[in-house]
Structure 1
Amino acid sequence: MTLARRILPASAGLLVGGLVLAGCSAGTPATDDSARTVTVATNLGEVEVPVAPERVVALDNTSFETLRDWGVTPVALPKGLLPDEGFEDWLADEDILDIGMHRDPNLELVSEAEPDLIIGGYRFQDYQDDLESIAQTIDVAGSDVAADGWVESLKDQTAALGAIFEREDEAAALVEEFETVEAEAAAATGGESVFLAVVSAGQIDNGAQRIGRLLEPLDLVDVFAGEEGDVHGDSGLAPETVAQANPDWVIVLDRDAAAGEGEVTPAEQVFAEQEAFAGTTFTTEDQIVYLDPFFYTREGLQAYQQAYEQITEAFSA
């Protein structure tokens, strides 16, 4: 006997209808917890998944903070995507298998973990078919191609995880709090120009590909809108080009802090050393927002909420 529920994206309501009993008459209590399922909206369509799976492989870093806060400890994950702070227990736990990074994951270890459910997608979306051959794999990650954008998709992700892990009330509260913070950030912005920067290998580059998503609900104008951004290397954007654009504000992703190798120079120092920035509005008015150092490896609902809180505080000062 299977107890099935259906959940749509957060924007459409956390739950639709009531409980639907499959394979038993109305009023007959469900007795087999292991057979309970819930239908959730994913980036690949609606999928029926087990409720409260015991053995979870978590690959999508945008889900990590929610899982951690709900007491869901994965049996395997890519430890290289964990921030150094906030996940010390997972990093030190030898019982949690480290499947390696998304560029070359050890799928044999994923199989060895014997998961009931794999939370894939985002950096691991190219391995969907391979993962499906091991265990049921869902993609509820943040998505740039989602109908309403990345930020809205993070709310949908939270609702889906809430349904799977029987945390619907907590999920609804998280989304409600997030939307309050999001609205405050939107109200604090009023058409100002902004440069979305990424500091990688000690160089300042156009970070729009990675943090342009922040602007979705905000009233800000990207000074390099439409131009190619760069996350992992040097696209050739010169400090003089940024200075000539003279944005009112700069929002900075310090990729080096999260993923740099060896000794890295903090983003604040990299900006301070740019002579070309001396006369810019963002320098003279001290209008630079530095995102959490681990934003690059977080990127989930909590990271975006913190960023919007920073933006509200900075723009309201």
Structure 2
Amino acid sequence: MKRGAAVATMVAATVAFTACSTTGSDDEASSSDGEMVTVTTNSGEVEVPKNPAKVVVLDNTSAETVKAFGVTPVAIPKQLFSSDQLTTWVDDDDVKDVGTHSEPKFDVIEDVEPTVIIGGYRFSKYDDDLKKIADASGGAFIDVAANDDSEGGRVAQMTRQTEALGKIFGKEDQADQIVAEFQAKLDAAKQAATGQTVFLANVSGGKIDNGAKRISPLTAPLNVKDVFAGDEGDIHQNSGLTPEAIAQANPEWVIVMDRDAAVATDGEQATPAKAVFDAQEAFANTTFKKENHTVYLDPQFYVREGIQGYGESYAQIAQAMGSGN
């Protein structure tokens, strides 16, 4: 989608930031006296206004943490932020809709004159464009999205991400608490995972397919063995994997991501992942079916993926594998 005509003018001359805002931290209506903090991002260290007044949140992996800090952004991608955890943002008419990562509305982002843009992850290909918009409004652009390629993998990066956001919003203690709660759930899952074989499943288009590309970062810290290791598939396309092939692999456990539920639009009724699995006659004699060893992740896992969603998933795995049911 083409950017608004205002970009050229804004990039050419920095617009002075105005502190007035109807959104922002619940306990701080505007940025704090020009105070800056330095945070580590995916592109190095960046100076960011502390307690920024106008925050645009594009990264879904950061969103729930920002919300937990009591911050209401001025703009978000509402279709992407469709999970139950972010309903109050989506339903708030004062929070502008920037479109999707496929067709972002740059003019909306420009118009709100952001103090901070939290980008990256699904919006990472627009990092340079978003940085220009932030610079033009006298603000800052950051990409603190957790990724699998950085040191320590997804888990370590989610911790770094949470701590960086806590520093920006003056919520360091709350960030530490979020990390501690997450770590406890991860530790419990690690204790329960003792080498079990698993199939990492994705239900998309009413079909069961290989979901390792999206789920393997979740299971990477755990002692489990993917029966289709080395083949991550493509969660957006049909790989041709059949129920018979899954049955032949005979995993002890299945961990399921319901992509259909996460991407269903208003008026669409997706068949629940459990119903799709229950309909498969090929699974009748598999270990996971006979032992009831299937973990269905939060239906919104596909669009959450932050430290909260991962923590809840580890708690599910710990409870299921720890009890054997």
The residue aligned with 2:322 is 316
For residues 209 and 84 of structure 1, what CA distance do their matches in structure 2 show? Answer: 21
The partner residue of 2:289 within 280, 283, 293 is 283
For residues 118 and 102 of structure 2, what CA distance do their matches in structure 1 show? Answer: 17
For residues 219 and 86 of structure 2, what CA distance do their matches in structure 1 show? Answer: 28
For residues 170 and 293 of structure 1, what CA distance do their matches in structure 2 show? Answer: 27
For residues 36 and 220 of structure 2, what CA distance do their matches in structure 1 show? Answer: 34
Aligned residue pair count: 286
The answer to whether 1:216 aligns with 2:239 is: no
Q: What's the CA shift string for 1:30-52, capped at 9, x where partnerless?
A: xx933211111111111111111
> Secondary structure of 1:124's partner?
helix
Unaligned runs of 5+ in 1: 1-31
Structure 1 residues 35-50: aligned runs within 5 Å: 35-50=34-49
The answer to whether 1:141 aligns with 2:140 is: no
> 2:254·2:288 contact (CA, 8 Å) conserved in 1?
yes
For residues 272 and 32 of structure 2, what CA distance do their matches in structure 1 show? Answer: 50
Structure 1 residues 85-124: aligned runs within 5 Å: 85-124=84-123
- Paired residue type of 2:35: R
For residues 90 and 177 of structure 1, what CA distance do their matches in structure 2 show? Answer: 24
> 1:200·1:260 contact (CA, 8 Å) conserved in 2?
no
The partner residue of 1:202 within 202, 206, 220 is 206
> 1:201·1:260 contact (CA, 8 Å) conserved in 2?
no
**Shift of residue 161, structure 1, vs aligned partner:** 0.2
**Shift of residue 84, structure 1, vs aligned partner:** 4.1
The residue aligned with 1:269 is 275
For residues 298 and 86 of structure 2, what CA distance do their matches in structure 1 show? Answer: 15
**Shift of residue 142, structure 1, vs aligned partner:** 1.4
Q: What's the CA shift string for 1:129-181, capped at 9, x where partnerless?
A: 00011002111011121111112111110000000000001111111121111
> 1:151·1:216 contact (CA, 8 Å) conserved in 2?
no
**Shift of residue 69, structure 1, vs aligned partner:** 1.4
For residues 158 and 86 of structure 1, what CA distance do their matches in structure 2 show? Answer: 17
For residues 39 and 228 of structure 1, what CA distance do their matches in structure 2 show? Answer: 37
- Paired residue type of 2:57: A
The residue aligned with 1:226 is 230
**Shift of residue 83, structure 1, vs aligned partner:** 3.0
The residue aligned with 2:250 is 246
The residue aligned with 2:3 is none
If the length of structure 2 is used for normalisation, what is the TM-score?
A: 0.86
> 2:32·2:52 contact (CA, 8 Å) conserved in 1?
no
> Secondary structure of 1:247's partner?
coil
**Shift of residue 235, structure 1, vs aligned partner:** 1.1
Q: What's the CA shift string for 1:194-243, capped at 9, x where partnerless?
A: 00001011011110111111112111011111113221121111111111
For residues 259 and 272 of structure 2, what CA distance do their matches in structure 1 show? Answer: 10
> Secondary structure of 2:64's partner?
helix
> Secondary structure of 1:79's partner?
coil
The residue aligned with 2:298 is 292
The partner residue of 1:301 within 301, 307, 315 is 307
**Shift of residue 184, structure 1, vs aligned partner:** 1.0
**Among the aligned pairs, what percent are the same residue?**
52
For residues 255 and 215 of structure 1, what CA distance do their matches in structure 2 show? Answer: 18
For residues 235 and 113 of structure 1, what CA distance do their matches in structure 2 show? Answer: 42
The residue aligned with 1:67 is 66
- Paired residue type of 1:148: G
> Secondary structure of 2:198's partner?
strand
Q: What's the CA shift string for 1:38-88, capped at 9, x where partnerless?
A: 111111111111111010000000111111111111100100112342322
For residues 254 and 205 of structure 1, what CA distance do their matches in structure 2 show? Answer: 11
For residues 245 and 71 of structure 2, what CA distance do their matches in structure 1 show? Answer: 46
The residue aligned with 2:10 is none
> 2:34·2:49 contact (CA, 8 Å) conserved in 1?
yes
Q: What's the CA shift string for 1:88-133, capped at 9, x where partnerless?
A: 2211111111011101101111111110000000000000000011
For residues 119 and 247 of structure 2, what CA distance do their matches in structure 1 show? Answer: 40
> Secondary structure of 1:224's partner?
coil
If the length of structure 1 is used for normalisation, what is the TM-score?
A: 0.88
The residue aligned with 2:79 is 80
- Paired residue type of 1:300: G
